[in-house]
Amino acid sequence: MEVKEGTKFFFRLGVSIGRTLEGDFIAGCDTRRSSEPFAQALASGLTTVGMPITLCGVCPVMTISYLVAKGHANFGLMVTASHNPPEWNGLKVFDPSGVIVDEALISSLGSQALQSDATPTMLRFDQAAELPDIYVKGLHSEFRRLGMKADGTRIAVDPGNGASSKLAGSLLEMAGADVLMINSEMDGVFRRPIEPNSQSLYRLGETVRANNCDFGIGYDGDGDRAVLADERGSVLREDMTLLASLRQLLKRVDSPFVISRASSNAFVDLSKASGRALHFSKVGERNVLIKMRETGALLGGEGSCGGVVYTELAMTRDGILASAVTAASIVEDGPISKTLRPYSRYHSYRVNVPFDRTSTDDSKLLSSLRAAFSNIECDYLDDLKFLETDGWVLVRSSKTEPVIRVIAESRSSDRARELATKFANALLRLMKGRK
């Protein structure tokens, strides 16, 4: 949205938040040029209805969850669009435990702001720039308490000009690593696509190879997503970052772990290798945290995002923690290409099927798909997970885009593609039949 209209909306959003959630707030933002003025507008709206707020300025989203969980404020706010394009804007809200609030509350707050006619009164707030350092020091303290170190490692870091540009390097250097930063300018210009993946991180791979690094890591705009490049410069699948982190942490933390059901069977292998119980949650970070509470798990995450959840620190995914833990794994066990080899035998394939909610009920469509494949074992939550003898297929309606996602996994890349295509085509036939 345009900055002028955006500041008006975020002011009204601050008013609606302050009228709904009573307490003191702490807020941060990513490096988008619109984010800082929107954070100021949000704070102005909260102050208008008598709610105190402290601004941290640019910081990774984990900082806000950490500070709230450690009692620095009742609620946390992060003005960020995460891994989405730079022209996007959004807001994450954290409850008093540091967990992201449910989508229904966010939707309600947004609706109130859109319907509001409150006249913006813009104030100017100083930033408590020292607060993000509390998060980094807390991270480093727990890292050392667990007996981990990164001494002697060389790491290439690509924060993608995002909010982790300063703190990621600080933590790794405190842990003993030699750090090479690329794309670390925080000037609102994104010099690569924000979402970290094999296409956007090609320069990271080149940096690893050219400088004989032990590995490289790239983050998204607010630092909770992270993707690894191994010592050869090969950019790995997103789930390998979470797997590398959990593999190391499970040696030291006596706990089961939780991952979302869209994650790889490699985590089942990790459960067997570590002797730790594994629980699956619905897809979505909040669902992972809810399942962690139910099972008493201290560790978890979503394979598609890379960042690891460790509730002794924060109640959200943490890409910076993942990088430090991966460095400790190298110190103890050698190159990640070696330690992750047993878990890299799975292949996934994804298809997004265009879907119009205004003309078709997604729950009825999924029920029809389940009936069409009644001969295949199916695990149903708010999505469908079909369990084939040689793989699985997850079918779920996107919460943010007009698509139904079809994700398949098998030990053969061809078979994964075949499974995803089969179910995607079945969806298209069902939708065509309903018109």
pLDDT in tens, 221-260: 999 999 999 999 999 999 999 999 999 999 999 999 999 9
Distance, in Å, from the CA atom of 127 to the CA atom of 39, rounded to the nearest integer, reads 11
Sheet strands side by side (includes 403-410): 347-354, 403-410, 391-397, 384-388, 377-380
Angle value at C-alpha 138, between 164 and 283, nearest 5 degrees:
60
DSSP for residue 295: H
* Residue 255 to residue 280: CA distance in whole angstroms: 14
Q: Provide the domain count of the chain.
A: 3
Last residue of a domain, one of 129, 154, 172: 129
Give bridge partners of residue 424 from the DSSP assignment.
none
Q: Does 229 share its domain with 202?
A: yes
CATH of the domain at 374: 3.30.310.50
Q: Which of 106, 129, 152 is the last residue of a domain?
A: 129
Query: What ranges make up the beta strands (E) of 80-142?
Result: 91-94
Helix, strand, or coil here: 392? strand
Angle at which helix 61-69 crosses helix 131-145, to 10 degrees, equals 80
Indicate whether 137 and 125 sit together in one domain. no
137: helix, coil or strand? helix
Shared domain for 18 and 38, answered yes or no, is yes
Say how far apart CA 375 and CA 326 lie, in whole Å.
42
Q: What is the CATH number of the domain that holds 180?
A: 3.40.120.10
Domain co-membership, 160 together with 194: yes
Q: How far apart are CA 119 and CA 79, in angstroms?
A: 21
Residue listed under structure tokens 């000037």: 187
Helices (H), 116-265: 131-145, 167-174, 202-210, 238-249
Do 197 and 333 lie in one domain? The reply is yes
Residues 176 and 48 in one domain: no
pTM over 0.85: yes
Given 114, 129, 144, which residue is the final one in a domain? 129
In this structure, the answer to whether residues 303 and 417 fall within a common structural domain is: no
For 269, phi and psi rounded to 5 degrees? -60, -40
Could you tell me if 87 and 233 lie in one domain?
no
- Residue 103: which domain range? 3-129
Same-domain status, 109 and 173: no
pLDDT in tens, 158-196: 999 999 999 999 999 999 999 999 999 999 999 999 999
Asked if 256 and 304 sit in the same domain, the reply is yes
Are 322 and 420 members of one domain?
A: no
Q: Tens of pLDDT along the chain (435 residues)? A: 567 889 999 999 999 999 999 999 999 999 999 999 999 999 999 999 999 999 999 999 999 999 999 999 999 999 999 999 999 999 999 999 999 999 999 999 999 999 999 999 999 999 998 999 999 999 999 999 999 999 999 999 999 999 999 999 999 999 999 999 999 999 999 999 999 999 999 999 999 999 999 999 999 999 999 999 999 999 999 999 999 999 999 999 999 999 999 999 999 999 999 999 999 999 999 999 999 999 999 999 998 899 999 999 999 999 999 999 999 999 999 999 999 999 999 999 999 999 887 777 888 999 999 999 999 999 998 899 999 999 999 999 987 788 999 999 999 999 999 999 999 999 999 998 764
Query: Both 266 and 177 in a single domain?
Result: yes
For residue 254, give the 3-state DSSP assignment: coil
Separation in Å, CA 391 to CA 317, 366, 409: 27, 20, 5
